[in-house]
Amino acid sequence: MRDEPDAAPTVDKWIAQTFQEKNRLETLLGIHHTSRPTGDDIKTLVASLRDITATLANADPADKAAVYAEMGITITYNHEGRALLESRPRVVEDGVGGGT
């Protein structure tokens, strides 16, 4: 057994950040993929979300609300203890080079 720390959380976080940056840049460049993600692509993405989920679970409620709003997620709680979750695709409005 090694005495080295487990690198999986660090690698998962790096993979998630890399995917996010890749997607952001492709959106800015107008690149649209016509192929569907593979099973391995989806598994990698889901695995990379573990740290994000844990972080959000422990986040300050105001910070959490801001993150959900940025992602286009609305959560409505009712009196029976149920929650309604709505998700709307977020449109990136950034332009290359900023304003004109």
**Domain extents in the chain:** 8-58, 61-90
Is the Cα dihedral 39, 37, 96, 73 positive or negative?
A: negative
Average pLDDT of the segment spanning 54-58:
82
Cα separation, 99 vs 19, in Å, equals 26
Least reliable range by pLDDT among 7-11, 43-47, 61-65: 7-11
pLDDT, greater one: 99 or 53: 53
Place of tokens 């409505």: 76
pLDDT, greater one: 28 or 1: 28
HSE-up of residue 8 (Cα within 13 Å, Cβ side) = 7
What confidence category does residue 16 fall into, taking pLDDT thresholds of 50, 70 and 90? confident
Cα separation, 86 vs 88, in Å, equals 7
Length of the chain measured in residues: 100
